[in-house]
Amino acid sequence: MVRKLTGILLVVVMLLSLVGCGSTEPVQDDAGVEESSYKIGIVTPTLSASEDEFRGAQKVMEKYPDMIKHIVLPDNFSAEQETAITQITSLGDDENTKGVIICAGYSGILPAIQKLKEKRPDIVVITAPIWDDPDMMSKYIDICLDTDWLERGVTIPTKAYKMGAKTFIHYSFPTHMAKELLVNRRDKMKETCEELGMKFVDISTPDPQTGSGPSAMLQFLQEDIPRQIEKYGVDTCIFGTNCPMQDVIIAKALDLGFIMAEQCCPTPTQGFPAAMGLEISSEDAGDFDKLNQLISEKAAAAGQTGRLSTWPIPVGYFLPEFSVEIAKDIIDGKIDRDHIDMEVLTSTAQEVAGVEVNFNKLKDEIDNYYLIIMESIIY
């Protein structure tokens, strides 16, 4: 009788163990470290192609070492698109993979997501961002995320005005101004300046995508910025639409004393280290508190306190971790994937970024495509 009872108890214990193995809830190991029975894949470019996204994914791997699988796309994405599609769809081969985060900033990835969803309709897919057709993306992706590039046409001159700007100069060139989004943002900047009583000045530089390349554009900025500051005074904000412009603009701001409210890509890693001669060790890469402190010190030494600003962390670094936290909550049943609560997005974003992050819908009729604006740091 005792042997029969013992046998029954063993069967019960084994059944309970099997039930436990099927759970998607996190468990605690002997050291008290949270582990998960499911996996989340993060897709980014390589370190050389896009440092912020790559390092953001590495940070999440350190946070959840047993959960995250990080894959990198080919360096030449456009030439190896089929390889990239295969990489992404292969994540669905593992039944334990419950979520896929794609932080790539490329177009042409939607076919991979379509194949992935056909194979695994249950899998949570978040893009942060990819640049395919928004209406098509919204049909296959649980959440689409991107920077609110157009709204920055309002927020940048508004911030410049609060920083003391009386004139706003917009530098760009013909091939950039052939892009509808950049034209619309420029027009919003002009409209906002008019509403605030600031003078708006639009200046075209030599085109870095034609002729002599970036060197002619940069030389033009070196010579033209002092002329404009002499004309309009130091209470002028200068904005450039091109990434290589930022080194020159910030260096000239330190030298001439004008306002730089935000770069084309708002991050402390763009323009500031080169213009200020900051050396960031590999150990400090991703330590944005330290980087922002170094920038503040350099700004103060140049008499530019309160005249330089950006977002406190790169969007590309923020989005992988934020997306993983949202995916985890969807997988764990804490967020209804069919009815994403914007308040939950906002509170989670603040926990991850340490600053306020505002979300806007791309279109009222699309419930899963959100654009973000991050709170600024003024040095």
Query: What pLDDT was estimated at residue 139?
Result: 94
For residue 273 the two structure tokens come to 């280290």
160-193: burial string, b at 16+ Cβ within 10 Å, e else:
bbebebbbbbbbbbeebbeeeebeebbebbbebb
Mean pLDDT (10-residue bins), the chain, 379 residues: 39 38 44 66 95 95 96 93 95 97 95 96 97 94 97 98 98 96 98 98 95 92 98 98 97 98 96 94 87 97 98 97 98 92 94 96 94 98
Which residue's structure tokens are 């091939």?
175
Query: What pLDDT was estimated at residue 29?
Result: 45
| Domain 34-149+316-378 identical in fold to domain 152-310 | yes
CA–CA dist 125, 352 (Å, integer):
19
109-122: burial string, b at 16+ Cβ within 10 Å, e else:
bbbbbbbbbeebee
Domains of the chain, by residue range, sit at 34-149+316-378, 152-310
Print the SS3 string covering the chain. Answer: CHHHHHHHHHHHHHHHHHHHHCCCCCEECCCCCEECCCEEEEEECCCCCCHHHHHHHHHHHHHCCCCEEEEECCCCCCCCHHHHHHHHHHHHHCCCEEEEEECCCCCCCHHHHHHHHHHCCCCEEEECCCCCCHHHHHHHCCEEEEECCCCHHHHHHHHHHHCCCCEEEEEECCCCCCCHHHHHHHHHHHHHHHHHCCEEEEEECCCCCCCCCHHHHHHHHHHHHHHHHHHHCCCEEEEECCCCHHHHHHHHHHHHCCEECCCCCCCCCCCHHHHHCCCCCHHHCCCHHHHHHHHHHHHHHCCCCCCEEECCCCHHHHHHHHHHHHHHHHHCCCCCCCCCCHHHHHHHHHHHHCCCEEEEECCCCCCCEEEEEECCEEC
**Measured CA distances, 133 to 141, 182, 249 (Å):** 12, 18, 34
CA–CA dist 114, 120 (Å, integer):
10
Task: Report pTM.
Answer: 0.87
Which CATH architecture does the domain made up of 152-310 adopt? 3-Layer(aba) Sandwich (3.40)
| Environment class of 316 (CB within 10 Å of its CB; exposed 0-12, middle 13-18, buried 19+) | buried
Query: What pLDDT was estimated at residue 10?
Result: 37
| Class of domain 34-149+316-378 (CATH, top level) | alpha beta
Query: What pLDDT was estimated at residue 212?
Result: 80
CA–CA dist 246, 251 (Å, integer):
8
CA–CA dist 257, 337 (Å, integer):
49
What backbone torsions phi and psi does residue 47 show, to the nearest 5 degrees?
-60, -40
Q: Is the peptide bond before 134 cis (omega within 30 degrees of 0)?
A: no
